[in-house]
Structure 1
Amino acid sequence: MFNYHTPVMLRECMEGLAIKPDGVYVDVTFGGGGHSKEILRRLGEKGRLLAFDQDEDAKANVPNDDRLTFIDQNFRFLKNYCRLFGAMPVDGILADLGVSSHQFDQPERGFSIRFDADLDMRMDRAGGLTAAEVINTYKEEQLHKIFGVYGEIQNAKTLARSIVTARLNEPVTTVSRFKEVIGRLIPRGKENKYLAQVFQALRIEVNQELEALQEFLEQSAEVLRPGGRLVVMSYHSLEDRLVKNFIAKGKFRGEVEKDFFGNEIKPFDAVVRKAITASEEEVKVNGRARSAKLRVAVKL
């Protein structure tokens, strides 16, 4: 299981969910199944778990357990499938928003800067848009926005122009060719960080990650029972900001709405005010835990 993906902050996630043995829970990012298997271990015979994952490879990790229902879909369809399987309302929802180690370690998926491969980056390989299509068909202004907003890259405008110029000669379709095209723009000594930000921006666009996250968060408020727990772990500031704002205000931007009497109108209350981070011990054995931020909320 942990060869596929080592679950981050496993103990903290379980404490956040406050699992009841006969409860109904949803793991919307099944992956290697690390978190799901721990939830199942804590559930009794009458407990129930729904697990979502759009990655075909995740199916191989599904345990044979009658209490588990596996749903091969994006978590943006949370409400539809919870209703379809008669699971509403639920007692807890867990989301680990990171890309699994398995996906990074598979060269042909095109997620990693370490291997040469086609520029793909689709979580759902039955999906349409690939990173190559973004690189070769998007207008310069669109690329500028993607790299500036999703990658938080300083020279995003120059980067976009270089890509558009290079593709006039031939399409940019592989990781190695892409790195070659943007090579002169990479700050010396910060090669890995810069490339990671560029690849992150492309991956977010290809998989519509921020749109899916917003849809999921809005639906989680409808799917959870009062007193139910929402536990979300994110790995970059764009995701964490959306999660933090939605828990604090019930919306993604602007101020929290209030009723006639001045009471805040929002679906959640934060269980902990600040994001939970991994211990030094965990970071030593699992480097991916370094950037993880865990937020826990209770449905009002």
Structure 2
Amino acid sequence: MTRGGGAEGASLGPADKHPRHIPVLISEVLETLQPKDGATYIDGTFGAGGYTRAILEAADCRVVALDRDPNAIRDSAQLTAHFGDRLKVIQSPFSQMEDAVPEELSAGTVDGVVLDIGVSSMQLDDAARGFSFQSDGPLDMRMSSSGMSAADFLNTADEEEIANVIYEFGEEHRSRAIARAIVKRRTETAFTRTLELADVVSRVFHGRKVDGRHPATRTFQALRIYVNDELGELEQGLTAAERLLKPGGRLVVVTFHSLEDRIVKKFLAERSGKTPGSSRHLPPELIKSAKPSFRLVNSRPLTPSKGELEVNPRSRSARLRAAIRTDAAAWPAKSGAKGLL
């Protein structure tokens, strides 16, 4: 989640361990989700628990929270103790929410699903996680702390694959020059640290900022998305939510860059009947026969207010899209490449 950060008050919970964490668009999330007494919600991106806590404080309801980061699960103890059996926190990527949630939460039984996509402020601010070039740390970037790290990828992938990842997931037009510089550097010394990569990319741009930002910003974004398969996770998570939500259930998704928002916008447009026949994964005959499984709540995404931007500049790129589940059957599961590659 780039759950980048707003004031959460003084109530109990893991965010007290992270005073700079501010849940983005929290008022808009609650207004759109409309928590109700006796309902069950899934927070697919628990993080520091900002959304979960707000939902549980808004109504006498239940939340099943997921996060693939073991640190988030570890830090959830205070919040789970505070809310007791109203909260269950599970280590799992939200793409696998159907298998992770308790057995009684079968298809068509959930009142709402909230997803806050990307990397959290806590992850960004922890140099040991390797998500940022603001301070030196291991070139890791894994949300789950398992599998291939960013350093593993850069030290083994061929130049074309590195260039493709940086271009597709970072929308970086100088991806080929960056890939060449990376391959040249690793022939001398393998990459292990974040500032090593930041320095190589900066040299490609002769140290100049790009759109007012550090020249390595897009490259770091691309590697993080690729290592964690964030776009594939998002696509799978949306379809899982579609199957779990009951008629009238609400799906609320907060994204932080155009690649994520594009996937959510396209998914909801298709599922609400706004763009019939446009799916690249489903046969045309299935698209034509499928009835709209969602009704859009907001045709345009909600964005942070001026006041929120002043308190939390990291929220500037946040976009909230939401939809209400209809009584139509969930669309068939798609097949195809993960993410955009």
Report the TM range for the smaller structure's normalisation. Answer: over 0.9
SS at match of 1:35: helix
Give 1:111-126 correspondences, 5 Å limit.
111-125=131-145
Partner in structure 2 of residue 172 of structure 1: 191
Work out the percentage of aligned pairs sharing the same amino acid.
37
Are 1:258 and 1:264, in contact at CA under 8 Å, matched by a contact in 2?
A: no
Amino acid at match of 1:138: A
Q: How many Å separate the matches in 2 of 1:168 and 1:253?
A: 50
Deviations 1:37-69 (Å, cap 9, x if unpaired)? Answer: 01111222xx21100011122121341121111
Partner of 1:224: 245
* TM-score normalised by structure 2 residue count: 0.82
- Give the letter for the 2:124 counterpart: F
Contact 1:136 1:171 in 2 (8 A): yes
SS of structure 2 residue aligned to 1:167:
helix
Relative distance call for 1:241 and 1:193 in structure 2 (3 A) is farther
* Cα contact 1:248–1:269 (8 A) shared by 2: no
2:313 equivalent to 1:297? no
Q: C-alpha displacement at 1:158, in angstroms?
A: 1.1
Contact 1:140 1:160 in 2 (8 A): yes
TM-score using structure 1 length: 0.92
Instruction: Indicate the residue corresponding to 2:259 in structure 1.
Output: 238
For residues 61 and 40 of structure 1, the distance between their equivalents in structure 2, rounded to whole angstroms, comes to 14
Retained in 1: the 8 A contact 2:118–2:230?
no
Look up the SS of the partner of 2:213 in the other structure: helix
Residue pair 2:277, 2:284 contacting (<8 A) in 1 also? no
Q: 3-state DSSP class of the match of 1:8? A: coil
From the superposition, tell whether residues 136 and 266 of structure 1 become closer, same or farther in structure 2 (CA, over 3 Å). farther
Aligned residue pairs, count:
295
Cα 1:253–1:213 shift into 2, 3 Å: farther
Residue type of the alignment partner of 2:147:
G
Partner in structure 1 of residue 90 of structure 2: 71
Structure 1: runs of 5 or more not aligned: none
Q: Compute the displacement of 1:6 (Å).
A: 0.9
Residue 265 of structure 1 aligns to a residue whose secondary structure is: coil
CA contact (8 A) 2:201 2:216 kept: no
Secondary structure of the residue aligned to 2:247 is strand
Contact conserved, 1:122 with 1:206, CA < 8 A, in 2?
Answer: yes
Superposition CA RMSD, Å? 2.2
- By how many angstroms is 1:18 displaced? 1.4
Asked if 1:20 is matched to 2:36, the reply is yes
Query: Could you tell me which of 22, 28, 45 is aligned with 1:29?
Result: 45
Hey, what's the Cα distance between the residues in 1 that align with 2:116 and 2:301?
A: 14
Distance 1:19 1:211 in 2: 28
1:28 touches 1:95 (CA, 8 Å); kept in 2? yes
Report 1:128-167 matches (<5 A). Answer: 128-167=147-186
**Does the C-alpha gap of structure 1 residues 254 and 194 become closer, same or farther in structure 2, counting only changes over 3 Å?**
farther
- What SS does the corresponding residue of 1:30 show, helix, strand or coil? coil
Which one of 247, 259, 276 corresponds to residue 268 of structure 2? 247
Shift of 1:238: 0.5
Shift of 1:173: 1.3
Instruction: Tell me the residue number matched to 1:90.
Output: 110
